[in-house]
């Protein structure tokens, strides 16, 4: 079960010669066309302008009224949609993926369905069943994408639990989980059993309707996992808000019992850990130990965290302790410690432990690549990198060119569904978009060089 360091060192690290130097100075932009670079610069500049992000939805409605649906749609396609979204049809998504693969990058498809965290609007089972179909199609699409022979078991996709189970249910489960002494009723093993048998689960904190919804949600989650595993697609479950995350983690743990055992060739279901939360390092250590004790494989997507403003607002409103780190430096330190922990686990347990370093941060990426080399973790092994489509291509391209496994998180779908999703993501990642100044400067320099005929 243990992946010995000897095996690791035989594939990479000091024994394989010098370490590939990573250069994030935009040199890798030579791989991209001038039109693509110009669009990236324009869109990143626009997104760094706060009013556009704050009033994005109103501006979209206004432009539709003024320019008409077709023209405003065409403008969006040529700009924001074209920059951050793969497309609408299977052919468009495949085209986008082929362009990425030619650059040494891999797709991480994400279905942009979501429930408003505070809304009670989406409560009908039909909405969740529709999302289940979309997830299954996403598995098919991920699997059917043009692939190179070395992709076996390396196809990944993102999954959002609140597309398949209501936020309301996750909130109620979280309140129950947080109460001392009641956890046995909601053990991952019990939920996993209910998933498998389809027998009605009765949880005392939920009413009849909620119990039925829990059962239906468990069966939806299990269906996606089963379908994905059969098609060799690994599921990376998103982390969301702290008022529902414990329930999401419980559901992931239940899926892990069923789908992350070594005989399944797991981990097929990974959880996401947000370094901006104060308790994340401790939780990550505990969960890793728990998985090891239970003989389960362990998959982690490590992020800084996207819901900072909302988390702080909620804790302020409720008069509770702010769950997030006090400042950016503390979040970065936490990210670094979690990264170190995960890389040392990978170096000890090999393919039983998988990690996606999901960050645009150059320092975090450098730390990961340096430690991978020191620990002898192979570039095509269980550690990979993740960035959003249309963001930080200078980092993704440099990593891809150096032989690391790099995934671009790709939303896809029709304009009407995806634009509100993008605007919400942009609002949550305001600081990131505003911080993309270095990328803008690198893009600008490359474009000037081409204009003056020096780069090509
Ligand atoms: C492939 C992929 C998958 C993702 N999946 C998820 C997910 O499932 N759940 C999720 O929540 N996010 C997810 N994200 C988003 C991620 O959490 C970050 O918001 C985003 O990547 C920016 O962080 P960074 O490390 O890339 O960049 P950086 O610019 O280095 O970091 C910005 C981040 O630092 C933190 N930060 C900024 N200011 C402060 C402050 N004053 N105090 C404390 N912390 C601060 C915030 O987390 C902010 O997002 C994902 C990102 C990627 C690339």
- Does residue 223 belong to any structural domain of this protein? yes
245 CB near ligand 1 (under 6 Å): no
Q: What is the mean pLDDT of residues 417-431?
A: 78
For ligand 1, whether the C-beta of 312 sits within 6 Å is: no
Is 93 among the domain residues? no
Nearest to 162 by CA among 107, 79, 239, 100: 239
pLDDT for the residue 128: 94
Label residue 6 by pLDDT band (50, 70, 90): very low
User: 414 pLDDT exceeds 70?
Assistant: yes
| Strand bridging mode 406-411 / 155-159 | unpaired
8 confidence band (pLDDT: 50, 70, 90):
very low
Decide whether any atom of ligand 1 lies within 6 Å of the 238 Cβ.
yes
- Average pLDDT score over residue span 131-160: 83
In a domain, 289, yes or no: no
Domain hosting 173: range is: 113-235+246-257
Q: What percent of the chain has pLDDT over 70?
A: 89
Neighbours of 74 (CB within 10 A): 14
Ligand 1 and 272: CB distance under 6 A: yes
Say how many Å lie between the CA of residue 234 and the centre of ligand 1: 22
Contacts of 295 (CB under 8 A, 6+ apart): 1, 261, 262
pLDDT of residue 3: 45
Q: Is residue 159 part of a domain?
A: yes
Q: Which range, of 298-302, 381-385, 418-422, 423-427, averages the lowest pLDDT?
A: 423-427
Q: What is the mean pLDDT of the chain?
A: 87
What are the CA-CA distances from residue 195 to residues 12, 199, 217 (Å)?
40, 8, 9
State the average pLDDT over residues 304-332: 95
- Quick one: pLDDT band at residue 45, thresholds 50, 70, 90? confident
Kindly indicate the confidence band of residue 61, based on its pLDDT and cuts at 50, 70 and 90: confident
Structure tokens that stand for 348 in this block:
């000890």
What six digits make up the tokens of 206? 């939920």
Q: What integer pLDDT is reported at residue 106 of this predicted model? A: 94
- In terms of DSSP bridges, do strands 383-388 and 233-237 run parallel, antiparallel, or are they unpaired? unpaired
Burial grade of 153 (CB within 10 A; 0-12, 13-18, 19 or more): middle
Task: Say if 365 falls within a structural domain.
Answer: no
Tell me whether residue 171 is in a domain: yes
The least confident of 33-37, 97-101, 129-133, 142-146 is 142-146
The strand pairing partners of 270, in sequence order, are: 236
Reported confidence tier of residue 20, pLDDT bands at 50, 70, 90: low
Over residues 83-87, the mean pLDDT reads: 91
For the cut 90, the answer to whether the pLDDT of residue 415 exceeds it is no
| pLDDT at 116 (0 to 100) | 57
- Please work out whether the CB of residue 252 comes within 6 Å of at least one atom of ligand 1: no
Q: What's the Cα-to-Cα distance from 408 to each of 96, 110, 176, 248, 357, rounded to whole Å?
A: 11, 10, 36, 23, 12
Res. 291: pLDDT tops 90: yes
pLDDT digit string, tens, across residues 150-162: 556 689 999 999 9
User: If residue 108 lies in a helix (H) or strand (E), which one and from where to where?
Assistant: strand 106-110
- Cα 303 to ligand 1 centroid, rounded to whole Å: 6
| 193-197, 403-407, 419-423 — most confident range | 403-407
pLDDT band at 117 (very low <50, low <70, confident <90, very high): low
* Distance (Å, whole) CA 332 – CA 305: 11
Under DSSP, the state recorded for 306 is S
Instruction: Answer with the residue of higher pLDDT: 43 or 338.
Output: 338
Q: Examine residue 48 and state whether it is found in any structural domain, yes or no.
A: no
**The dihedral sign for the CA sequence 74, 78, 82, 83:** negative
Domain annotation covers residue 36: no
Report the 10 Å Cβ neighbour count for 132.
21
Q: Which atom of ligand 1 is nearest to the CA of 432?
A: 29
Number of domains in the chain: 1
| pLDDT of 16 higher than 50 | no
Atom of ligand 1 nearest to the CA of 331: 44
215 vs 207: CA distance, rounded Å? 12
Highest mean pLDDT among 51-60, 182-191, 431-440: 182-191
Most confident of the ranges 141-150, 338-347, 392-401: 338-347
pLDDT tens figures, 185-206 = 888 999 999 988 877 788 888 8
């Amino acid at each position: 079960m243990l992946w010995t360091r000897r095996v690791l060192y035989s594939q990479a690290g000091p024994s394989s010669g010098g370490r590939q130097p990573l250069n994030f100075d935009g040199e890798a932009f030579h791989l991209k066309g001038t039109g693509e670079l110009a669009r990236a610069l324009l869109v990143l500049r626009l997104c760094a302008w706060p009013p556009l992000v704050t009033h994005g939805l109103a501006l979209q409605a206004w432009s539709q009224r003024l320019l008409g649906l077709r023209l405003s749609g065409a403008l969006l396609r040529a700009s924001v949609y074209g920059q951050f979204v793969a497309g609408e049809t299977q052919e468009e998504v495949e085209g986008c993926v082929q362009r990425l693969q030619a650059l040494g990058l891999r797709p991480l498809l994400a279905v942009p369905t979501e429930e408003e965290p505070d809304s009670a609007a989406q409560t009908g089972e039909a909405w969740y069943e529709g999302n289940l179909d979309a997830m299954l199609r996403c598995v098919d699409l991920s699997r059917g994408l043009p692939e190179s022979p070395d992709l076996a078991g390396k196809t990944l996709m993102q999954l959002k639990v609140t597309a398949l189970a209501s936020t309301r249910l996750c909130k109620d489960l979280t309140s129950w989980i947080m109460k001392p002494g009641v956890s046995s009723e909601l053990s991952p093993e019990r939920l996993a059993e209910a998933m498998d048998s389809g027998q009605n689960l009765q949880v005392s904190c939920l009413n009849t309707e909620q119990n039925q919804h829990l059962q239906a949600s468990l069966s939806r989650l299990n269906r996606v996992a089963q379908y994905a595993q059969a098609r060799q697609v690994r599921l990376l479950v998103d982390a969301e808000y702290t008022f529902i995350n414990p329930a999401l983690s419980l559901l992931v743990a239940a899926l892990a019992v069923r789908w992350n055992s070594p005989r399944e060739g797991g981990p097929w279901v990974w959880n996401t850990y947000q370094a901006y939360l104060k308790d994340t390092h401790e939780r990550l250590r505990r969960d890793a130990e728990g998985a090891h004790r239970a003989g389960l494989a362990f998959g982690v997507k490590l992020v800084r965290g996207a819901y900072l403003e909302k988390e702080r607002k909620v804790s302020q409103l409720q008069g509770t302790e702010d769950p997030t780190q006090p400042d950016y430096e503390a979040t970065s330190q936490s990210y670094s410690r979690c990264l170190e922990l995960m890389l040392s686990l990978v170096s000890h347990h090999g393919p039983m432990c998988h990690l996606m370093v999901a960050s645009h941060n150059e320092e975090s990426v450098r730390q990961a690549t340096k430690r991978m080399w020191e620990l002898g973790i192979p570039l095509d092994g269980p550690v990979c990198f993740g960035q959003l489509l249309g963001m930080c291509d200078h980092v993704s391209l440099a990593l891809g060119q150096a032989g690391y496994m790099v995934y671009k998180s790709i939303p896809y779908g029709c304009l009407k569904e995806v634009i509100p999703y993008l605007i919400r993501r942009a609002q949550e990642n305001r600081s990131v978009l505003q911080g993309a100044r270095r990328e803008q400067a690198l893009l600008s320099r490359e474009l000037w060089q081409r204009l003056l005929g020096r780069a090509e």
